[in-house]
Amino acid sequence: MEMAAKAAALSDIEPVRHGFFERQGGVSEDIYASLNCGRGSDDLPSAVEANRRRVANELGIGDDRLLSLYQVHSPQVEVVTRGWTPMAAPRADAMVTAERGVGLGILTADCAPVLFADKRGSVIAAAHAGWKGALGGVLENTVETMVDLGTDKKEIRAAIGPCISQAAYEVGEEFKQQFVGTDATYERFFVLGEREGHWQFDLPGFVSDRLDKIGVESFAEKADCTYGDPSRFFSYRRATHRGEGDYGRQISVIALAE
């Protein structure tokens, strides 16, 4: 049984293997049930590693070839030419590689995971696009790095995975001003919230718009809201509202088959 949703935009590109993994199919328990892949959570490390092995096996890559970053909501991009240990994970929010057999894993729990591949299947990338990273240029930097590795921007496809929806993403006025202060046209990504002085922010719409402006063919493959579907997704905001203290992370992975 497949554990992950596939993106139609990437499925016909050989030799790309990928998946937007949800929270089912793992061994973690309680609030981390069950496919928690977040080493930064307080879950049992043995359970997290077992879950990551399942993900690697699903994609046909070695356990030690599934890489993830120390994500810091930045525009930083890491070019992957070799692996690293968990303790040595680079502080960055996107990865790009032309290497075969390496899984680029992005961890999310409301932010948008974005997977990239060129149509020739020669360069791939994965980005963690929360509001701060997306506003700061992580998507633009990812595409620029792919071009630096030899691909043509016109050949790149990007698939946006499950993230928090506008209906569930309430923000304050100060948050909104960080966007409209940068570009007044970003007003369109906000609608009035139910509470006075609050707004609802459209993260997937903003991410899609940034990709469109770069000139990358992008597809919002999964419209599912991470906040609104606790049976399928982890959500930082939902865990906070429930007072759970911690939360799991789902993983989205892309690799070039060896």
pLDDT (0 to 100) of residue 206: 96
CA-wise closest residue to 96 among 138, 160, 142, 148: 142
Residue 17 sits at φ, ψ, to 5 deg, of: -120, 140
Looking at the structure of the chain, the number of domains it has is 1
pLDDT (0 to 100) of residue 113: 97
How many angstroms from the chain centroid is the CA of residue 1?
Answer: 23
Query: Quick check: is 20 in a domain?
Result: yes
Residue 174 sits at φ, ψ, to 5 deg, of: -60, -40
Query: Quick check: is 176 in a domain?
Result: no
pLDDT (0 to 100) of residue 49: 98
Query: Quick check: is 195 in a domain?
Result: no
The CATH number assigned to the domain holding 149 equals: 3.60.140.10
Q: In angstroms, how far is the first alpha carbon of the chain from the final one?
A: 22
pLDDT (0 to 100) of residue 99: 98
Query: Quick check: is 208 in a domain?
Result: no
Query: Quick check: is 46 in a domain?
Result: yes
Contacts of range 57-62, beta carbons closer than 8 Å, 24 or more positions apart: 58/2, 58/3, 58/4, 58/19, 58/21, 59/17, 59/18, 59/19, 59/103, 59/253, 59/255, 60/17, 60/257, 61/17, 61/101, 61/102, 61/103, 61/255, 62/101
| pTM of the full structure | 0.98
Expressed as residue numbers, the domain containing 100 is 4-166+218-256
pLDDT (0 to 100) of residue 222: 57
pLDDT (0 to 100) of residue 218: 78
pLDDT (0 to 100) of residue 207: 96
Query: Quick check: is 207 in a domain?
Result: no
pLDDT (0 to 100) of residue 1: 46
Residue 169: helix, strand or coil by DSSP? coil
Query: Quick check: is 104 in a domain?
Result: yes
Query: Quick check: is 84 in a domain?
Result: yes
pLDDT (0 to 100) of residue 106: 98
Low-confidence ranges of the chain (pLDDT < 50): 1
CA-wise closest residue to 28 among 58, 54, 2, 7: 54
